[in-house]
Amino acid sequence: MSDIKSRDKEFVADTYARFDVAITSGMGSELFDETGKRYIDMGSGIGVTSFGTADVEWVKAVSEQLMRVQHTSNLYYTAPCGRLAELLCEKTGMKKVFFGNSGAEANECAIKVARKYAADKKGSDYSTIVTLENSFHGRTLTTLAATGQAHYHELFQPLTPGFVHTPANDIDAMRETVKNNKVAAILIECIQGEGGVNVLDKEFVQKTAELAKENDVLLMVDEVQTGNGRTGEMYAYMNYGISPDVVTTAKGLGGGLPIGACLMSEKVGNVLGHGDHGSTFGGNPVACAGAVSIIERIDDALLADVKKKSEYVFEALSGAAGIEKVVGMGLMIGIKTVRAASDIVKECNEKGVLCLTAKDKVRLLPALNIPMDVLKEALEVIKEVAAKEI
Ligand SMILES: *Cc1c(COP(=O)(O)O)cnc(C)c1O
């Protein structure tokens, strides 16, 4: 075993079942390990490196900011934080942004907004947050409580109270849940990422939005994975014709540095006041400068290109040998294979294509700007591996 791997195994907490690969460098959608072996990156660090590894414009934005000032604390103004918030508001119609450092923190902020809004308006007993079964909202004790998957909960009781889960795509159950609880907000992923790339039904999402409005319950959309161009729209909710009250995002926003954002609409933009929330690293100028260089480039042309590549992937894989179905939106794609997804991913790794799993599916989250020829090459390998007899 190489030094990189053996040292990691000895000293890093054993919370990840890592693949037998140590990445040492990369460029765009290609990565290299310590032996010089080349990989095509079909996971982009779980949808983080939106424009690939060591993207020239992103590196320039980050390094220029690094040489000016790397951190100030939130006691002072810095330019990138305000510029990023302005860009996000322009692209969504939202009015205020709170910055944290991860998806979980973005959701923590949303939950605090919902509880304070409801407490101010209806009373502090209106604290329940409704989320969906099979959802994923993060690893903190509160966002685990939000996550609708019991197996994540078992070892860490007691979790933060005040979360109830209801099945996806069942509007009657959603209606009952809202009726039977003192609800502050409904929090959903339009496409459940970790849950298996499950695209929610349009009708369910729209009816849920109406229900939220009728009951003065906030509609909050977790766009940590689906956001920032991933689905072929700036945010996945834009595919559904809804106007959420709160949008959370992270992963692809930063292009590779830790950042999370909670976007608030007019209705809730001023719910949080001085001292109600904070983060030492939140709005860090280097992370924000990188994110500005990402968000500025997610324009109509890029989104059209994401859609075009998505169609290409669906066409290439649908009906191929060993592939039962292809689901997803944009460049967030789930592949149900005849053989176990984990075996497919392992064999693709060996053949130099890095893919992810999501429950029983192979999951693809390539960089938004993956070149067509590289994408084509990766799909050939995935098809070849999927077609292998059991
Ligand atoms: C990854 C993810 C999170 C958690 O993000 P972290 O940055 O790991 O805290 C939350 N929600 C969704 C939908 C995610 O995909």
Kindly report, residue by residue over 362-378, the tens digit of the pLDDT.
999 999 999 999 999 99
Query: What is the CATH number assigned to the segment(s) 3-54+300-387?
Result: 3.90.1150.10
**Among the atoms of ligand 1, which is closest to the Cα of residue 46?**
1
Provide mean pLDDT across the span 335-363.
98
Contact 193, 48 (CB under 8 A): no
Asked if residue 270 has pLDDT above 80, the reply is yes
Give the domain 58-295 fold: Aspartate Aminotransferase; domain 2 (3.40.640)
DSSP secondary-structure letter at 148?
B
* Predicted pLDDT of residue 1: 79
pTM, whole model, 2 decimals?
Answer: 0.98
CA distances from 96 to 7, 86, 105, 246 (A): 44, 8, 16, 10
Q: Identify the CA nearest to 226 among candidates 213, 212, 244.
A: 244
Ligand 1 centroid to residue 328 C-alpha, Å: 17
Give the domain ranges of the chain.
Answer: 3-54+300-387, 58-295
For 295-332, what is each residue's pLDDT tens digit?
999 999 999 999 999 999 999 999 999 999 999 999 99
* Predicted pLDDT of residue 305: 98
Cβ contacts of 149 within 8 Å, gap of 6 or more: 133, 134, 135, 136, 195
Provide mean pLDDT across the span 108-118.
98
For ligand 1, atom 5, name the residue with the nearest CA. 103
Tokens of residue 170, six digits = 């069942």
Provide mean pLDDT across the span 381-387.
98
Contact 225, 47 (CB under 8 A): yes
* Percent of residues, the chain, with pLDDT higher than 70: 100
Ligand 1 centroid to residue 197 C-alpha, Å: 14
Average confidence score pLDDT of the chain: 98
Q: Is 107 exposed, middle or buried (0-12, 13-18, 19+ CB in 10 A)?
A: buried
* Predicted pLDDT of residue 32: 98
* Predicted pLDDT of residue 14: 97
Asked if residue 389 has pLDDT above 90, the reply is no
CA atoms within 13 A on the CB side of 223: 28
Q: State whether the beta carbon of 104 lies less than 6 angstroms from ligand 1.
A: yes
Q: State whether the beta carbon of 103 lies less than 6 angstroms from ligand 1.
A: yes
Ligand 1 centroid to residue 357 C-alpha, Å: 15
Asked if residue 390 has pLDDT above 80, the reply is no
Provide mean pLDDT across the span 276-283.
98
Candidate of 44, 101, 136, 249 to mutate for ligand 1, largest count of ligand atoms within 8 Å of Cβ: 136
Ligand 1 centroid to residue 32 C-alpha, Å: 26
Provide mean pLDDT across the span 20-44.
97
